[in-house]
Structure 1
Amino acid sequence: MPATARRRDTPPPRTGSGEAETLRGFLDYLRDSMAANVDGAPEPQVRTAGVPSGTNLLGLLNHLTFVERSTFLGEEVTDWQATFRAAPKDSAAEVIARYRQTVERANRVLDGCTDLGAPVPRPRSERPAPSVRWALTHMIEETGRHAGHADILRELIDGATGR
């Protein structure tokens, strides 16, 4: 068992009083938590399955990048299972950077949304877009669930805990 390391534990965010500020504040909090779980994790453990299903830290972050792109940017994903694997050539730093860039792009879309009941704006409209409220709630659930998985995987890798 690795020596226990402790990362700084960040409490939930204090947000504005509005619904949009609260949803976005919690989503950004979870996004940061997820990236922090991957940041600094050693190779090859960051991409090594920690459980029989094959789940690994780098794959979780890669998957969330695709979920963000699909939900907020309207990008089509044809093989969701494949998103749980990062390419062997991709370093952890590259996967983290790609995730953060995707989050920035998603946030730029959200910055222009004033009505939570309106559909998420999409560059192409081949399929109906969810409401901004639904998209934010879905991403909070999806990111929170996988951040919990990542907490456990990171602790198994090197004993690091905290958000």
Structure 2
Amino acid sequence: MPTASRRDRRGDTPPPRTGGSETDVLRGFLDYLRTSIAAKVEDAPEPQVRTAGVPSGTNLLGLLQHLTFVERSVFLGDVVTDWSATFRAAPADSVADVVARYRRAVACANDVLDGCADLAAPLPRPRSLPGRPAPSARWALVHMIEETGRHAGHADILRELIDGATGR
């Protein structure tokens, strides 16, 4: 298989070089992915940002809308009753609205994580949810890295289909 020459490679933002602790590494990679997907969406053109790029109906703005709900569910304990609906932004929501809502959810999630000294301990929850114990901070971080990374890959492809933009 041929390899790309240095001249042919695109200029990506490299993965983070974080501190040596498990928490620093996990949070560093999660924040890297969060920043990447928000940037992928924030300057995408209307109406393409909300137009389905594949037969399943997946669209760029819907991916970020969904990740907002996942952040709030995992870290804050918000209950989501219809996960399919989280993939659709309201017609009245602008790209800036969805990006700002996502960044607020990330900030709230980071506030919760800032109070977690032990990755094995359950996340603190603002309210008790019967039958739904809080996950450990470690599980929540790894799950969000997986979830955000998966959808960031989808976003990479959708954005390239929209206007050819590549890179992180």
TM tier relative to shorter chain: over 0.9
Partner amino acid, structure 1, of 2:18: T
The aligned residue for residue 113 of structure 1 is: 116
Which string of whole-angstrom CA distances, capped at 9 and with x for unpartnered residues, describes residues 84-132 of structure 1? Answer: 0000000001000000011001000100000000001101121200000
Partner amino acid, structure 1, of 2:135: P
TM-score (norm 1): 0.95
From 55, 58, 79, the counterpart of 2:58:
55
For residues 12-23 of structure 1, what are the structure 2 equivalents within 5 Å? 12-23=15-26
TM-score (norm 2): 0.92
Q: In structure 1, list runs of 5 or more residues that go unmatched.
A: 1-6
> How many percent of aligned residue pairs carry the same amino acid?
80
Q: In structure 2, list runs of 5 or more residues that go unmatched.
A: 1-9
Count of aligned positions: 158
The aligned residue for residue 153 of structure 2 is: 148
Q: Following superposition, which runs of at least 4 residues in structure 1 exceed 4 angstroms of deviation?
A: none
The aligned residue for residue 101 of structure 2 is: 98
Q: Whose relative contact order is higher, 1 or 2, with alpha carbons under 8 Å and at least 6 apart?
A: 1
Structure 2 residue 40 is matched with structure 1 residue 37 = yes
Instruction: Name the Cα RMSD after superposition.
Output: 1.2
Q: Distance in 2 between matches of 1:120 and 1:60?
A: 25
Structure 2 residue 56 is matched with structure 1 residue 78 = no
Larger radius of gyration: 2
